[in-house]
Structure 1
Amino acid sequence: MTAAADHSGSMAVEQLADQLHALLLPGVQSSAPSRQRLADKLQQVVVYLQQNCKGIASPAALAVAPQNDADTPDNVKRPSTDEAEVPVVAAVQQAAVMPVSRKHRRKLAKPFLIESFQQRYVALEVFYLGWQYHGFASQCGTEGTVEVIALLLRSASKTGEPALLEEDEMDYSLKLNKELPRDIRVLAWCTVPADFSARHAFALPRPLLFSTAHREYTYFIVQHGQLDIAAMQQSATYFVGEHDFRNFCKLDLEHVKSFRRRILDFQVKEMQPAGTDGRALYALHVKGTAFLWHQVRCMAAVLMMVGQKLEHPDVVQQLLDIEQNPCKPQYRYASEVSRKLFRKEPLLFSRCVYKNIRMRVSDRSHLQTLQIIEHAADQHRMGSSIYMNLAEKLKSDTYNVHQTINNERHSHGVSAAPYVKLLKREKEPDIAQRLRAWSERQSECSEAM
């Protein structure tokens, strides 16, 4: 097709767009954007008809004759499906004069403008599986989590109208979940002040009317006879209270000035009793007002060492005593071992509770999310059953490798090398040394700039 023919076809499509707008919306003046959108759609129709119908030469063949009184929706016949040749003009004209609903007419006449609606600052409680998304921020760990985020959303009330009450507002959970993938779900929402911050309570200095009451984490572990659960529970109780947790975190000197945090509760709970294979599922459930970077993973790692009887339960008390142990001994986080063995980290940020905030839960959205989670759980149960049956088969095979498997099975945090007690391991630099090193790096960067 020559450039002249292509230009002629484009002009014909634009001319047809103007005439179709007059047919669809008589008496309504069309805007340039609406005409362009209609022209783009018509161009797609032309390309489709060229590819699928006979007798179509080029878009330049489009020529709409002036409409007469006989061309009305009542007497225009639709082309039958068995017609091999459908002229472009006839096909498009007949489609154009078909009856259009009142709702569709309003949509074409009044394009959606976000500026014509009010906005509402909303906190959303969002559940997502971080295995796919690596959390909301760049971080080493991935996890399943429940986050609270705050953002401006369109309200159902228009500009200039009185603001709607929360109970009359649109169902944000239901609408957002229609657009989100199945492993990201909005659980609840509520209206919050403009200076609300989901992470730091309030961005501006003011009374903490909406400060975080507490956060809850759950770390899942598999027990197949090698863990002393009673010793782990005894050791976990030593975390409860306000302590300096510098030996149970990854230091973030740029943003954190105090390492004191308060743990409200720490339980080792049985989640699923042992099956025929002798394995049970337990959860380390911790509740606190705030947490340091990797604090939960560090606490879980030390409790696993206690459970394997590599450390005495009072090792937690000794590490919390920063006067006797000001420097953190070197050890791996529980997440590092879990990702190596299972490729997924069993850490769940399960709950975040705010003062004076009551989330609104949509019944329909809640039911849909519950069905999705239950379906996913059933899929994992079936997968788990397949692996368990395969393991039983291998144990009963004639190769007689069962004892070898038991002897060589990996355990959490244990390597083949001789175990070194935590308090006897090489220590990381203390806070003062790290601060000096960090200040020197900052000075060097400033000079370089």
Structure 2
Amino acid sequence: MENNAQTKKNREMNWDNYSKRHIALKFAYLGWNYRGLAIQQDNQNTVEQHILWALKKVKLVPEDADHQSINFQRSGRTDIGVSAFSQVLSFHSRSNVKTGKGIISVGHKISNDSKEIDFPKVLNRALPSDIRVLSWTPVDTDFSARFSTVSRQYRYFFRKENKNIIKMKEAGCLFLGLHDFRNFCKMDAENVSNFERTILEFDILPYQSQNQLDIGGDSKYTDFNDIYYFKITGTAFLWHQIRCMVGVLFLIGEGLEELEIITTLLDIQKVPRKPLYDMVDGSPLVLYECNYESLEWQAISKQTLNEFDKLWLVSSLHSSVIYSMYNGIKDFPISDPEGISSKSKHVPLLKRKTEKAYDERNKLKGNK
């Protein structure tokens, strides 16, 4: 036992021998299998937790590192089931070089000809296959993945079905500019008091897939021409803001609400309390892009591209299996041709019950 303990002690890293560098990582993940991005006290199955484990496993940060000790920051927080194509983290990492942007301290044993660590390569070996580091870049020591972000773009994928794309696009453009979005979010009155946010870009575009599977049949679920996505860019977003915006736009697209409901809900003098309505599912939502000034990302590796190709192949095979099941049962006798249940009658948003206003929530908090 003593020999094992001594061996482990000898293997422990002397972090003074290594340089420390402030870097940014660009990474992608499929959020469907995780409980959100941010580390949580009561659940370890989050994207950030897996990344922190990987950072420690490959010894880019000390074993006892936490967010504060390595200045760990993210660009945007995503919730349960939400994915990201271009999420960004910044933190203090072990480095093999002694000069260059982001160097915080120089290690005792670093030579002038040392080559920098291939951060994506070493981390991807330690990460689950649906979390991939795409690229990295050295950044100035005052860079923050969160506060240095100029804009963030989200995309929400959906099937057109009976939705009026033109009406939804016209309604969505009413979000452009600076508005108070308290009626289009899940209010976090304890941590947020300013609900004004700026929308820089809004559009609805068709998703054109070059990889559509030719599996035949007449199922509406196999038609990629019916797939569209919302493209929404802003400086920052509130909790569940995109999902609430899309939820109301769907009501407009289905003819259940008029375009003017957007302007009305954005007017907090007219509507100080958010009507009760359902936000859309989070799984088709993607944090697509985080934009910064003057960042030069390293090129993505061919290996990383191949790994995404494997993910797509597995997903395609799963789709084929499910579709074959559908094809096998679609000709069975149907006991309820109209479906299990009909849709309930739509209640206009302005005639619904409402949530408590911000001031009312704060008053309740003060009385506790």
TM-score range, shorter chain: 0.7 to 0.9
The answer for the alignment partner of 1:177 in structure 2 is 124
Distance 1:266 1:174 in 2: 36
Secondary structure of the residue aligned to 1:437 is helix
The CA RMSD measured in Å over matched residues stands at 3.1
- State yes or no: 1:331 paired with 2:277: yes
Partner Cα distance (1:129, 1:186) in 2: 12
Gaps of 5+ in 1: 1-9, 18-31, 38-107, 202-210, 339-344, 442-449
Q: CA 1:163 to 1:435, structure 2 compared with 1: closer, same or farther past 3 Å?
A: farther
Other-structure match for 2:57 = none
Q: Secondary structure at the match of 2:96?
A: strand
Structure 2 unaligned regions, length at least 5: 41-77, 98-105
- SS of structure 2 residue aligned to 1:382: helix
Asked whether 1:155 is paired with 2:129, we answer: no
The answer as to 2:258 corresponding to 1:322 is no
Q: AA paired with 1:198?
A: A
Q: Which residue of the partner structure matches residue 227 of structure 1?
A: 163
Does 2:64 match 1:124?
no
Change (3 A) 1:437 1:164: farther
C-alpha distance in structure 2 between counterparts of 1:112 and 1:287, whole Å: 43
The aligned residue for residue 50 of structure 2 is none
| Counterpart in the other structure of 2:101 | none
Check if 1:277 corresponds to 2:219. yes
Pairing of 1:171-250 with structure 2 (within 5 A): 171-199=118-146, 201=147, 211-223=148-160, 225-250=161-186
Q: Which amino acid aligns with 2:127?
A: L
Aligned length: 311
The 1:111/1:322 distance shift into structure 2, 3 A limit, reads closer
The Cα shift of 1:249 comes to 0.5
Q: Does 1:287 align with 2:287?
A: no
CA separation of 1:438 and 1:196: change in aligned 2, threshold 3 A: farther
Q: Deviations over 1:201-220 (max 9, x none)?
A: 1xxxxxxxxx2110011111
Q: For residues 189-209 of structure 1, what are the alpha-carbon distances to aligned partners after superposition, in whole Å with 9 as ceiling and x for unaligned?
A: 12223343322x1xxxxxxxx
Note the C-alpha offset of 1:141.
Answer: 2.6
- Say if 2:177 and 2:200, in contact at 8 Å, map to a contact too: yes
Helix, strand or coil at the partner of 1:352:
strand
**Aligned AA (1:346):** P
Alpha-carbon shift at residue 319 of structure 1 (Å): 1.0
Q: What residue in structure 1 maps to residue 313 of structure 2?
A: 378
CA contact (8 A) 1:123 1:192 kept: yes
Matched, 1:144 2:144: no
> Is the aligned partner of 1:358 residue 2:285?
no
CA distance in 1, matches of 2:19, 2:37: 27
Percent identity reads 33
Q: 8 Å contact 2:37–2:80 — kept in the other structure?
A: no
Deviations 1:291-328 (A, max 9, x none): 01110110111111122221122211211122211211
Distance 2:186 2:26 in 1: 27
**Bigger RCO of structures 1 and 2 (CA < 8 A, at least 6 apart):** 2
Following superposition, the deviation at residue 163 of structure 1 comes to 8.8
Cα separation, partners in 2 of 1:400 and 1:330, compared to 1, 3 Å: closer
Aligned AA (1:418): K
For residues 112 and 25 of structure 2, what CA distance do their matches in structure 1 show?
Answer: 18
Per-residue CA shift, 1:42-63, capped at 9, x if unaligned?
xxxxxxxxxxxxxxxxxxxxxx
Deviation of 1:261 (Å): 0.6
In 2, the alpha carbon distance for the partners of 1:253 and 1:180 equals: 35
The structure with the larger Rg is: 1
The 10-residue stretch of structure 1 (375-384 or 385-394) with the greater mean CA deviation from structure 2: 385-394
1:254 positional shift? 2.3
Q: Tell me which of 23, 32, 35 is aligned to 1:134.
A: 35
With the length of structure 2 as denominator, give the TM-score of the two structures: 0.75
Contact 2:206 2:229 in 1 (8 A): yes
The Cα offsets for residues 258-301 of structure 1, whole Å up to 9 and x where unpaired, read as 11111111111111479843342211121111101110110111
Match of 1:298 among 228, 231, 244: 244
Give the structure 2 partner of residue 55 of structure 1: none
Confirm or deny: 8 A CA contact 2:25 2:88 kept in the other structure.
yes
Question: Is the aligned partner of 1:421 residue 2:348?
Answer: yes
* Aligned partners of 2:201 and 2:233 also within 8 Å: yes
Q: Secondary structure at the match of 1:316?
A: helix
Moved more, 136-145 or 321-330: 136-145
Q: Secondary structure at the match of 1:257?
A: coil
Aligned equivalent of 1:347? 285
The aligned runs of 1:32-111 (5 Å cut-off) are 33-34=6-7
Query: How many Å apart are 1:147 and its aligned residue?
Result: 2.3
* Distance in 2 between residues matched to 1:330 and 1:111, nearest whole Å: 55
Q: Is the 8 A contact 1:156 1:164 kept in 2?
A: no
| 1:153 Cα deviation from its structure 2 partner | 1.2
Deviates more, 1:244-253 or 1:155-164: 155-164
- In the TM superposition, structure 1's runs of 4+ consecutive aligned residues that sit over 6 Å from their partners are 161-165
- The structure with the greater share of residues assigned to helix is 1
Contact 1:245–1:261 under 8 Å retained in 2: yes
Q: Which residue of 1 aligns with 2:64?
A: none
Structure 1 residue 160: Cα displacement: 4.4
| One-letter amino acid of the counterpart of residue 257, structure 2 | E
